[in-house]
Amino acid sequence: MNYYEVKGTDLKVSVLGYGCMNLGQRWDQSVLEDKDIERTKESVMTAFEQGINFFDHADIYTYGKSEVAFGELLGEEPSLRQQMIIQTKCGIRFQDDPKPGSPHRYDFSAQHIVRSVNESLDRLQTDYLDVLLLHRPDPLCEPEEIALAFAELHSAGKVRYFGVSNHTAMQIELLKKSIDYPIIFNQVELNLVHNQLIYEGIHFNQNVSIPSLTHGTLDYCRLNDITVQAWSPLAKGLLTSDGMSKSEIEIETSELLEDMAVSKHSTPEAIMLSWLLRHPAGIQPIIGTTKARRILDACKAVKVQLTREEWYHLLNTVIGKNLP
């Protein structure tokens, strides 16, 4: 495994993080079963034994079951805690929370942030989080109020560092006006297929339509020492699994990944992740498979170094034409 030193912190994180979203298996209010906890231990320990020391959670993942399952592991093996960097997120509230009829929404109120962290700490069986992220931008957020919540959590020793997820450059600027702590991460969807953060920079001022503008967020993060974490870095297996319905371009890209994997004695998953790792921003892909075999296939990415030519070959192929 390779590691990044996260700027402005004492954190040394594995270049691949492990996403714990699906550890709890079912997105409903059902309770955890013993077999879910056993599977969690296998997935997490496989990642850990590959050198992954960074684990990404959110309060809502499988309605809290993913944090509970992870917490069971920490409860059984307390010595793991010091060797792991644990991040969770808050701010999304499901429909019917806290009472029937409450709408699905975002909530960056101080009261919700503090309560959410306290509940995550209980579920994870730990007394501190290394990192807390705001999950999705809340249009009703009051940065001054978030600042109060962060100060309370930090001074109580409950959260060491703060970051955001799915935020634009300007939204981060707005938060920074009031928050006294550095924003160290921005976790965003980013992979070879969902490549807007990179693609928009290339297509600036061209006569093409870009489905979603990120307003220079990748460059902004580089300029401001904010490490970009890539969620769904394997596009949920779209290019690397059989049985997924694919467009012509996706089939071609998938075949290119396969060919590169053969020539580099690696795996298509590793090639796809190495496309992110090759970017000089120092992107941290957060892989989410629960299968041990797939975790091992993904971790081979740290042994792959794509050339400039290979990186652009993949980009041209997934876009379906040569760059301008």
List of residues contacting ligand NAP (CB under 6 A): 19-22, 56, 165-166, 187, 231-237, 240-241, 269, 286-291, 294
Of 9 and 88, which CB lies nearer to ligand NAP in the complex structure? 88
Q: Three-state SS string across 236-264, please?
A: HHCCCCCCCCCCHHHHHHHHHHHHHHHHC
Cβ 205 to ligand NAP shortest distance, Å: 30
Catalytic residue check, 161: no
Q: Which is nearer to ligand NAP, 159 or 287 (CB)?
A: 287
Neighbours of 207 (CB within 10 A): 6
Distance, C-alpha 195 to centroid of its chain? 15
Smallest distance from ligand NAP to CB 155, Å: 26
Q: How far apart are CA 139 and CA 233, in angstroms?
A: 27
Q: How far is the CB of 214 from ligand NAP (least distance, A)?
A: 14
To the nearest whole angstrom, how small is the minimum distance from the Cβ of residue 206 to ligand NAP? 28
Strands 129-134 vs 159-165: parallel, antiparallel or unpaired: parallel
Residue 179: partners with Cβ closer than 8 Å, 6 or more residues away: 143, 146, 147, 150, 162
Between 199 and 231, name the residue whose CB sits nearer to ligand NAP: 231
Distance separating alpha carbons of residues 197 and 221, to the nearest angstrom: 11
- CA–CA dist 295, 289 (Å, integer): 7
Residue 7 or 291: the one with the smaller Cβ distance to ligand NAP is: 291
Beta bridge partners of 287: 18
Which of 4, 18, 61, 199 is the catalytic position? 61
For residue 314, the Cα-to-chain-centroid distance in whole angstroms is 22
Nearer of residues 206 and 212 to ligand NAP, judged by Cβ: 212
| Least distance CB 99 / ligand NAP (angstroms) | 25
CB 297 within 8 A of CB 303: no
166, HSE (Cβ side, Cα atoms, 13 Å): 15
Our CB check for ligand NAP shows the closer of 156 and 262 to be 262
Instruction: Single out the residue of 197, 160, 165 nearest to residue 182, CA to CA.
Output: 160
Q: How far apart are CA 120 and CA 124, in angstroms?
A: 6
Output the smallest distance, CB 46 to ligand NAP, in A.
12
Distance CA 274, CA 269 (A): 9
Active-site amino acid positions = 61
